[in-house]
Amino acid sequence: MAKLALSERILMNIEKPARYIGNEVNIVKKDLANVDIRIAMCFPDVYEIGMSYLGIQILYDMFNRREDTYCERVYSPWPDLDRIMREENIPLFSLETQTPIHDMDILAITIQYEMCYTNILQVIDLSNISIFSKDRTEDDPIVIGGGPCVVNPEPIADFFDIFYIGEGETSYDELLNLYKEYKHSEMTRKEFLIKASNIPGIYVPSLYEVTYNEDKTIKAVKPIMDGVPASIKRQVVVDFENSPYPLKPVIPYIRATQDRVTLEIMRGCIRGCRFCQAGMIYRPTRQKPVELLKEYAKLMIDNTGYEEISLSSLSSSDYENLDELLNYLIKLRDTEHVNVSLPSLRIDAFSLDVMSKVQDIKKSSLTFASEAGTQRLRDVINKGITEEDILNGSREAFLGGWDKVKLYFMLGLPTETDQDLYGIAELAEKISEVYFDTVPKEKRNGRVMINASASYFVPKPFTPFQWAPMILPEEFTRRAYYVKDCFLQQRNKKSLKFTYHDANISILEGVLARGDRRLSAVIYDVYKQGAIFDAWTEYFDIHRYMDAFKRHNIDILFYTTRERSLDEVFPWDHIDAGVTKAYLAREWEQAKKGVVTKNCRSQCMGCGSAVYQGGVCFEAKN
């Protein structure tokens, strides 16, 4: 058992000390004498969130398969411990061996959402590593960022030595081999970074220079020297079937947000919803064979002792052998006492039948991600669900005994009018009418509940809506109130409920998502003002950001409400995500015309991802 980095007095004075002691079941232990490369893998949020994330478990397992490498974990210390570590000068440490992060070779940080940017600085700072990559020396670990946010890493470019663009399964071996060479030779840090920039998917931001036009838009992003590639290609694991998967995941002692076995069945999505970044940046869609998944499910349940299993994918209903897989899991439920938690499935007779077997109908609710209130707007966003689908699904569900329905919407989608907003209330009303038409009085227990909730639409890079303006927060509030009024006008208003998200966090996401390098200074500034855990409403302070934008002369409307022209150079244009800008532009034009686009299985729309030579693009040809 490793000696703990924190004392008894500290551990007994903070919330959930189990976050910091490591020693969990299935952790990897290695003899440090036989290890050449030490990696600290970080999820920059609290332990319970970070431990729920599949990606780290995949990379942890993958790195530790290398004999010369020892990968350990580190998470953001919660504000109570953060304060103590600063007061007492305690350096941030890894969980497995409780080693200071500064003693590691590599600090690898996964970046899942924009609101964790200040936590990234917290982790680097508490590790006693210089916050800006330009200030780091040969003694500092190499700081690498990865994950979905790094398709536009520019707002945090100044803090990282390297970004790994895309899926970790492909290029890390080559990068680690190069690191080893660097460590055992006279090679300088700079020389290492230049060599690394030639590995597929590796982006070294300090080797690129950004120039600006007079109107503040970007003129160009170019390498500062020969021998550094002009564009960086997002990595995709083509042989998804045989890519490593963590069959013995680390099991936290305290309850994590996802306290169950997670089985990744598919990566990518065939649907092409125009607002959805994940649907674009994980292309092409790849599936794991059902026989392999059955084997994995059983092994992981045996290796962990978890009593619940859930499926992970962007759209499980599109997994081709879903029936067979779910039937197998239901069988496991009976023999192994495993609960099956279902991801959002398309609601139809089959999924309702499965749900009725694995859920307590009385306690569960159905979810429709309608996203928009009218068919016109659903066509604009290419959300392939119709009112008929929703009403039929609801009818089947009500007949099956459900009486709670959840509906998700976004406000502020391109071309949205008050008619679309009224449509949200109208759709909810129609669902309640289906209930009263379908379920006879004597069979009704209590009241049917239709809960609609709306979030504030944030345009993301590498989506057809990357050119779209975001609406002003005042307009979001007006629209939200308007929808609320529309709900009150409905006949069954007592069965309908409408809630909406806080606008402030979305504004910030809007700035950061499509931001550029000029924002690094702001992020550093708000961090210095004390901002951490911005993804947590209780710690997030919008004024801290607004003041900093003012100090740095940054007009946030430049990033949020401005409509971009088709020929504008984006901060992320030097990242090649697979989907081409020409395809996205076509989709943006089609969106404005309200023309829908077929899914990848029905027809190839030429998005550009076929260059990866795998997945759904080649399904028919196999």
DSSP state of 568: P
12 lines the binding site for other proteins (CB under 8 A): yes
Distance CA 95, CA 98 (A): 5
Percentage helix, strand, coil for the chain under 3-state DSSP, each rounded to 5: 40, 15, 45
Distance CA 149, CA 120 (A): 13
253 lines the binding site for other proteins (CB under 8 A): yes
80 lines the binding site for other proteins (CB under 8 A): no
SS3 assignment, position 65: coil
Instruction: Tell the burial category of 127 from Cβ atoms under 10 Å away from its Cβ (0-12, 13-18, 19+).
Output: buried
Selected from 83, 255, 331, 528, the binder of other proteins by CB under 8 A is 255
Selected from 217, 317, 339, 477, the binder of other proteins by CB under 8 A is 339
Token pair belonging to 369: 């991600």
360 lines the binding site for other proteins (CB under 8 A): yes
Q: Are 263 and 293 in contact (CB under 8 A)?
A: yes
Distance CA 112, CA 42 (A): 11
Q: Which stretch binds other proteins (CB under 8 A): 6-14, 209-217, 410-418, 531-539?
A: 6-14
258 lines the binding site for other proteins (CB under 8 A): no
Between 248 and 376, name the residue whose CB sits nearer to other proteins: 248
11 lines the binding site for other proteins (CB under 8 A): yes
SS3 assignment, position 205: helix
337 lines the binding site for other proteins (CB under 8 A): yes
251 lines the binding site for other proteins (CB under 8 A): yes
364 lines the binding site for other proteins (CB under 8 A): no
Between 64 and 609, name the residue whose CB sits nearer to other proteins: 64
Between 277 and 304, name the residue whose CB sits nearer to other proteins: 304
Between 291 and 302, name the residue whose CB sits nearer to other proteins: 302
Per CB under 8 A, contacts with other proteins among 267-306 are 301-306
Binding characters for other proteins, 210-249, by CB under 8 A (x = yes): ----------------------------------------
174 lines the binding site for other proteins (CB under 8 A): no
As separate numbers, helices (DSSP H) first and strands (DSSP E) second, the chain gives: 19, 19
CA 604 to chain centre: 26
Q: Are 69 and 63 in contact (CB under 8 A)?
A: yes
21 lines the binding site for other proteins (CB under 8 A): yes
Per CB under 8 A, contacts with other proteins among 24-43 are 24-25
How many other C-beta atoms can be found within 10 angstroms of the C-beta atom of residue 417? 11
488 lines the binding site for other proteins (CB under 8 A): no
SS3 assignment, position 571: coil
Between 217 and 341, name the residue whose CB sits nearer to other proteins: 341
Q: 284: cis peptide before it, omega within 30°?
A: yes
DSSP state of 570: P
How many other C-beta atoms can be found within 10 angstroms of the C-beta atom of residue 214? 6
88 lines the binding site for other proteins (CB under 8 A): no
Selected from 1, 33, 224, 620, the binder of other proteins by CB under 8 A is 1
- Phi, psi angles (nearest 5°) of residue 594: 75, 30
**Nearest distance from C-beta of residue 20 to other proteins, angstroms:** 8
Q: How many residues belong to the site for other proteins (CB under 8 A)? A: 29
The label of the residue with tokens 């306690």 reads 363
The label of the residue with tokens 């030097």 reads 574
**Nearest distance from C-beta of residue 22 to other proteins, angstroms:** 8
7 lines the binding site for other proteins (CB under 8 A): yes
Q: Are 509 and 495 in contact (CB under 8 A)?
A: no
**Nearest distance from C-beta of residue 17 to other proteins, angstroms:** 4
187 lines the binding site for other proteins (CB under 8 A): no
**Nearest distance from C-beta of residue 358 to other proteins, angstroms:** 10
Distance CA 212, CA 442 (A): 69
**Nearest distance from C-beta of residue 38 to other proteins, angstroms:** 21
Q: Kindly list the residues in this chain that would bind other proteins in the complex (CB under 8 A).
A: 1, 4, 7-9, 11-13, 17-18, 21-25, 251, 253-255, 301-307, 337, 339, 360
